C-alpha cells in the first residue's frame, strides 16, 4: 500500500449535460387538468427536461464525458477507472460503461477498471465512493477516476409523470481535490422496501408508491443523520448540528421533499437539544416532542411548523442547491450532483473552507449522508473553473420549451421504442448543440449506433467510430 501518499481525495472537475428539450410545469399542470399550483407549488418544480427520440442515457454519457475531457484538457489515457451510476436500463447485461469505452479505445486506452453500479438513484453515489476508494487503495495506478451519473426519468400518465427529468453528470476523481471527502463522517442506512422499483421489465416506467417512498426517504434521512452526527462526535469530540455545515444538498425527486427534509433535520436538532434551534422555534416545536417516530412522519402539522421555523436557514443553506433540480426535474442518480453543481454555480466565489453535507437516497432502499470540504485547487481543478465549465446559466437559457402535447407524444413514441430493434431515429439534431451525441439507429440485432453533431470534419470522424464498431460487431 502506498500509505499516506494520497490526501484530499475527491472531485477534481465536473461537467453536466441535460437535454435542450423541456416542458414547463405550469403548462403541464394545465394540460393535465391538475389544480393550479399542483406541480409548481405542490411539488415545487418549475420545468422538466426530457430526452427526445435522438437522445438516451448512453448518448448523454458520451456527450458529457467528451465535454469534460476536452474542457479540462484531460488525455483519455490518463483515466484508469470509469464507473457509471444509472437506473435506466437499456441492456440488462452490457454496462453503459462499455459504450463509453468507445471514447477511450479511440486513444488506445482499454486499461480502464470499473463497471456500472445499480440501486435506483443511489448508483452514482456508489460509483463515486468506489472511485474514491480505488484512489486510496493499493491497486491505484496513479491515474484519474471518472464517475458518470446518467438517467432518464419517465413515468406513466398519472400523478408521478411531472416528477420526471433527464441529465448526465461526469466527475473526475483524484487526490488534492478542491472538493474532498471527509470520509470519516459517513452515515449509511439500507433496508429492503418496495417504495419505488422497476419489476415490469418490458416497460421503462417504474412502479411507485409515492407516499411510502416519501416516508422511507425521511426515515432514511433520520437514520443517516443520526449516524453521521455520531461519527462526527466520535472523531471531532463535539456535537454536530446543522450550524456546522454551510450547505445541505439532498437527492431531489421534487423540491417539496427537499424542503421537508431540511425541516426534518432541524426537528432532529431540536430533539437533540442543539443550540441552533432558537427559543422561539423551540416553543413552536415543543408540542411535537412526544410524537413517536411513526406519528412524526405522518403529522402534517409538524411538517408545516418545522418548515416554517427552519425557513430562514433553508434559504441560506439549501436554496442555493435547488436551481437545477427545479429546472430539470428528477435526474435519478444525477439529481444530487446536479443540486451540488447548483451550489457551485451560485456560490463559487465564497466556498473555500466550507463544508457541504450531502444526502443520497435510492429507493429499495440505499442511503448515505456524507460531507465535502471545499478548498483552493490548482487550475484547471479549482472551484471557479468548475463553475465556468458547468456553465449553468447559458445551458438553461439555450433550452427549447416544448408543448405538453408534444411531450406526451414523445413519451408515447418512446414507449414503443423501449426494448425495440430495427428502427432509425429521425436524426433530427436541430435542437442539439454541436458536440452532442445522438442515436442514429438500432439494427435488427439491437445494436445501437450513435453519431456526434459537429462540424463536417468532426462528424465524419464520429461516423467512422460507429462504422468501426459496426464492422467489429459483424466481422467475426
- Least distance between a second copy and beta carbon 317 (Å): 24
User: Could you give the residue ranges of the DSSP H alpha helices within 136-209?
Assistant: none
Which residue is catalytic, options 22, 47, 51, 121?
A: 121
User: What's the rounded Cα separation, in Å, for the pair 131 and 129?
Assistant: 5
Q: Which is nearer to a second copy, 223 or 239 (CB)?
A: 223
Q: Which is nearer to a second copy, 190 or 431 (CB)?
A: 190
- Least distance between a second copy and beta carbon 401 (Å): 29
- Least distance between a second copy and beta carbon 2 (Å): 9
Q: Which is nearer to a second copy, 273 or 298 (CB)?
A: 298
Q: Which is nearer to a second copy, 2 or 428 (CB)?
A: 2
- Least distance between a second copy and beta carbon 309 (Å): 26
Which residue is catalytic, options 149, 251, 303, 345?
A: 251
From the list 396, 462, 386, the residue with the least C-alpha distance to 170 is 386
HSE, CB side, 13 Å, CA atoms: give it for residue 105: 12
Other C-beta atoms closer than 10 Å to the C-beta of 410 total 18
Query: Does residue 301 have an active-site annotation?
Result: no
Identify whether the C-beta of residue 385 lies closer than 8 Å to the C-beta of residue 379. Answer: yes
Instruction: Evaluate the omega torsion of the peptide bond into residue 380 and state whether it is cis, within 30 degrees of 0.
Output: yes
Other C-beta atoms closer than 10 Å to the C-beta of 30 total 13
User: What's the rounded Cα separation, in Å, for the pair 52 and 13?
Assistant: 28
User: What's the rounded Cα separation, in Å, for the pair 54 and 15?
Assistant: 21
Please provide residue 106's backbone torsions phi and psi, each rounded to the nearest 5 degrees.
-50, -35
Please provide residue 29's backbone torsions phi and psi, each rounded to the nearest 5 degrees.
-50, -50
Query: Does residue 216 have an active-site annotation?
Result: no
Q: Hey, what's the cell of 90?
A: 437499456
Query: Does residue 379 have an active-site annotation?
Result: no
- Least distance between a second copy and beta carbon 346 (Å): 28
Which residue is catalytic, options 87, 182, 204, 303?
A: 87
- Least distance between a second copy and beta carbon 98 (Å): 4
| Backbone Cα Rg of the chain | 22
Identify whether the C-beta of residue 438 lies closer than 8 Å to the C-beta of residue 453. Answer: yes
Q: Which is nearer to a second copy, 28 or 216 (CB)?
A: 216
Q: Which is nearer to a second copy, 17 or 297 (CB)?
A: 297
User: What's the rounded Cα separation, in Å, for the pair 335 and 198?
Assistant: 19
User: What's the rounded Cα separation, in Å, for the pair 453 and 450?
Assistant: 10
Query: In angstroms, how far is the first alpha carbon of the chain from the final one?
Result: 42
Could you give the residue numbers annotated as active site? 87, 121, 251
Amino acid at each position: 500500500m502506498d500509505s499516506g501518499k494520497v490526501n484530499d481525495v475527491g472531485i477534481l472537475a465536473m461537467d453536466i449535460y441535460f437535454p435542450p428539450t423541456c416542458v414547463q410545469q405550469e403548462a403541464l399542470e394545465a394540460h393535465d387538468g391538475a389544480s393550479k399550483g399542483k406541480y409548481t407549488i405542490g411539488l415545487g418544480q418549475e420545468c422538466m427536461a426530457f430526452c427526445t427520440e435522438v437522445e438516451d442515457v448512453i448518448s448523454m454519457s458520451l456527450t458529457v464525458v467528451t465535454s469534460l475531457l476536452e474542457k479540462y484538457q484531460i488525455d483519455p489515457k490518463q483515466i484508469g477507472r470509469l464507473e457509471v451510476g444509472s437506473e435506466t436500463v437499456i441492456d440488462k447485461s452490457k454496462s453503459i460503461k462499455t459504450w463509453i469505452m468507445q471514447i477511450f479505445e479511440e486513444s488506445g486506452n482499454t486499461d480502464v477498471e470499473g463497471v456500472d453500479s445499480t440501486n435506483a438513484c443511489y448508483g452514482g453515489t456508489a460509483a463515486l465512493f468506489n472511485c474514491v476508494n480505488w484512489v486510496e487503495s493499493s491497486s491505484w495506478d496513479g491515474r484519474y477516476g471518472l464517475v458518470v451519473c446518467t438517467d432518464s426519468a419517465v413515468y406513466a400518465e398519472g400523478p408521478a409523470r411531472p416528477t420526471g427529468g433527464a441529465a448526465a453528470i461526469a466527475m473526475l476523481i483524484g487526490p488534492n481535490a478542491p472538493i474532498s471527502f471527509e470520509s470519516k463522517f459517513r452515515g449509511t442506512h439500507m433496508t429492503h422496501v418496495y417504495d419505488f422499483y422497476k419489476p415490469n421489465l418490458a416497460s421503462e416506467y417504474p412502479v411507485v408508491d409515492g407516499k411510502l417512498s416519501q416516508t422511507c426517504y425521511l426515515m432514511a434521512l433520520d437514520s443517516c443523520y443520526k449516524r453521521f452526527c455520531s461519527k462526527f462526535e466520535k472523531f471531532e469530540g463535539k456535537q454536530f448540528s446543522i450550524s456546522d455545515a454551510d450547505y445541505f444538498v439532498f437527492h431531489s425527486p421534487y423540491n417539496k421533499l427537499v424542503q421537508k427534509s431540511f425541516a426534518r433535520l432541524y426537528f432532529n436538532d431540536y430533539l437533540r437539544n442543539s443550540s441552533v434551534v432558537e427559543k422561539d422555534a423551540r416553543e413552536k416545536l415543543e408540542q411535537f416532542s412526544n410524537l413517536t417516530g411513526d406519528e412524526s412522519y405522518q403529522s402534517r402539522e409538524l411538517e408545516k411548523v418545522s418548515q416554517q421555523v427552519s425557513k430562514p436557514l433553508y434559504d441560506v443553506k439549501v436554496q442555493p442547491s435547488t436551481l437545477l433540480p427545479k429546472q430539470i426535474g428528477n435526474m435519478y442518480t444525477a439529481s444530487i450532483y446536479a443540486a451540488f453543481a447548483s451550489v457551485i454555480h451560485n456560490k463559487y466565489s465564497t466556498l473555500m473552507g466550507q463544508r457541504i453535507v450531502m444526502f443520497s437516497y435510492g429507493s429499495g432502499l440505499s442511503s448515505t449522508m456524507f460531507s465535502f470540504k471545499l478548498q483552493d485547487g490548482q487550475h484547471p481543478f479549482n472551484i471557479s473553473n468548475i463553475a465556468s465549465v458547468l456553465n449553468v446559466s447559458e445551458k438553461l437559457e439555450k433550452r427549447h420549451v416544448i408543448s405538453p402535447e408534444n411531450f406526451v407524444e414523445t413519451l408515447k413514441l418512446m414507449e414503443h421504442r423501449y426494448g425495440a430493434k430495427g428502427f432509425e431515429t429521425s436524426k433530427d439534431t436541430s435542437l442539439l448543440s454541436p458536440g452532442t451525441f445522438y442515436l442514429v439507429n438500432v439494427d435488427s440485432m439491437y445494436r445501437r449506433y450513435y453519431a456526434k453533431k459537429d462540424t463536417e470534419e468532426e462528424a465524419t470522424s464520429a461516423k467512422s467510430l460507429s462504422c468501426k464498431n459496426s464492422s467489429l460487431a459483424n466481422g467475426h
